[in-house]
Structure 1
């Protein structure tokens, strides 16, 4: 009997519901935005700082508190209070200590945002003018390393972007070409006539390669005697003598450059007009170049023999003359004349040419 009573009691206990204590109320607050990558604003580059702050608040869906005042509707008011706290915290947490002391007194994010926009936007206008002025006034020169000047150009472009001034890639590349030194004029003309314009990144690589090539050519000049070099580099301009030769029917012989100059600093004969050659042999493209006084390079298209008919019926034969179309004056090398027995004497302001003690030509110094 006792066994039955116990069973009934157990059944009664197992069917009764168990009352659990109520769970405590928990609030799942949204985390504040991660501002670790936003640079602290100290009064400079406001537009950049403003864009970064707005972007991160917009991603979190709370940016409307920067432009909207506290709503009257209680349902909307609770949401606005939370978003205002997030925006205000984000703004003042990315300010320098000096600016924090100023704007921490504001309780609404919109007030801080509007106040800073009014103050620093006007300031940035002056900053933008300064940055734009630096960009357009900057020029490249031959006395500085090309890589150093390219880095400077990168910095100027970066300053423009920091002020929210974004220029088209084609414009940036075109202006860099224009900024190249005067000695790069031939190179600039080649780039302008390309069918496809290079991007800024490709153009910079192209310029650096060109600069490296130019340096290698200059180094080969100093290391190899047979390299075609600056025709006037061996003699300082202050000690150089030159003689303008008067040639019969000169205008018919030389179409582009009408003056032949005997130059004591030239180590090669050079002629600008192909028609002046009595015999001619083309030179492969890019095979030979010369360096000019102003650091420019000029292409040698060929070489051959030139016969100069002097006054008094005499003829001066020049062998192994280089054909350089863009030379400013046809050059006769004193050094090469000496090798064939023609002696050039400089007396006061006169220059006398003789061969085997026989008079050949006389002229006057023009330098």
Structure 2
């Protein structure tokens, strides 16, 4: 008794899913396996036994056949969805029931064949997902095509997987293409699995970048945020070679205590020499050995270059001896008691 219960439970575990109108060939194959384990699949293709009252043995065989057919018919109907059960349970025999289902839904699988072929051709592997998982998805599409009566050779499957690899796997795929020996699908999947494990290990063992090491013990502060309404760019209206001019009218020199120049520009500063003129090239300015002065005439005041006023001590002629040997005479030269010139 216990053995029979265990057999019934194991047979129920082999039962296929309920048929909803799709993937009929898959459901048909599973149904055949299940009915075979139950020992009643033979009744579908068994020839009918004519009824004869003269032969009691034939009558008993006919009774057993009807019981087996009724049991097989009930098992098939139990694996149909409710909407299909309401349509097909009225068909009396198991043979006629399977024939009606095959006639109806095997023709619809022809359209699914084109659908599966399109999915197979459009399949592309993407980054960020396990290459093995994506390969299994492609193999599943191949199995669906095989079940639909479209067998695909193993070599073609391997070549298709190589062509559908993502960009980061293109070099590895090119390496497999250049191999002269034929590689089986199982060996190809093992190679993909090894390569994926190696890449995962390299990512784990990869050292951090130099930028990260440089910032290991550095506390980065937040940069000041400027609001657009508070931050306004000032323009100085200067060209690329222009300089900012400073007003010296209010600047007081701490050497001569006069306005208009800085102390570093003052002629009265100790060790400061007057600026030479462009016209003094090839001239010598010095003592009496190179220049002679006329008789001075005193009187009046003059304003010097630095805007200071000086008393004129005299006026006369100055003879300058040039390095060429010639003499240059300057008339009307004013003499003032200052180290600078006017």
Q: TM-score, normalised by structure 2?
A: 0.48
More strand by share: 1
